[in-house]
Structure 1
């Protein structure tokens, strides 16, 4: 059984997925590795998963249709209707979520400032 301490770092894989999106950047915020477009966060690595900001309807659908998706609670803060967390036992499986990462990027990129 793999413990959290033994779990491979997913940042290199998440970087490979999202940093190819035009204008996507990464930086640490409150100790979390976060991903931004237009200076707005659309994803971050949190504990055993990745938090993503998607349209509320999509967030709701993902939470009801997939057992590995839950509300996003960074550092125990309250969740938001637009944020979900995806957890994968095998970090290489985040590649299967590439379309959700792209949806988060597109959603945040389309938001006015």
Structure 2
């Protein structure tokens, strides 16, 4: 049975991510995705938000924060540039704006 994201949770995440310059929302592969320059930099997955950052930043976040885990959409491993931030309360994503901005900048600067 597919799990759906409560509308209020998605709205709280939208409120944070869609305020960032150039960000657009789109459904990709059943995920609520956030894109910049037509490239996905974040998406809602399970109880968290997956983000793409440099491999070095991904390692740093996983070791320095208890709420950051490897990004595994649908239980499948993803690249070393993806991590997931898990917050029980979606309003807490407002505290991660700097991390989202770093993700956005990283993805804008990549070719793929």
Do they fold alike, i.e. is TM over 0.5?
yes
Moved over 4 A (4+): none
Which residue of structure 1 aligns with residue 85 of structure 2?
A: 86
Give the number of aligned pairs: 109
Partner of 1:42: 41
Mark the runs of 5 or more structure 2 residues left unpaired by the alignment. Answer: none
Per the alignment, residue 62 of structure 2 pairs with 63
Rounded Cα–Cα distance in structure 2 between residues aligned with 1:45 and 1:9: 13
- Report how far residue 8 of structure 1 moved: 7.0
Return the alpha-carbon distance in structure 1 between the equivalents of residues 28 and 17 of structure 2.
17
Q: CA RMSD in A?
A: 1.8
Residue by residue, what CA displacement relative to the aligned partner does 1:2-47 show, whole Å, maximum 9, x if unpaired?
xx98x77422122121212222111111111000011110000001
**Secondary structure of the equivalent of 2:94?**
helix
CA distance in 1, matches of 2:96, 2:82: 15
CA-CA distance at 1:99 after TM superposition: 0.7
2 CA distance for matches of 1:67 and 1:48? 14
- The 8 Å contact of residues 26 and 36 in structure 1, kept in 2 or not, is answered as yes
Counterpart in the other structure of 1:12:
11
- Contact between 2:13 and 2:90, CA under 8 Å: does it hold in 1? no
User: Could you tell me the TM-score, scaled by structure 1's length?
Assistant: 0.87
1:75 is matched with 74
Structure 1 portions without partners, runs of 5+:
none
Q: Which residue of 2 aligns with 1:33?
A: 32
Which has the higher mean CA deviation after the structures are superposed, 83-92 or 11-20?
A: 11-20
TM-score relative to the length of structure 2: 0.88
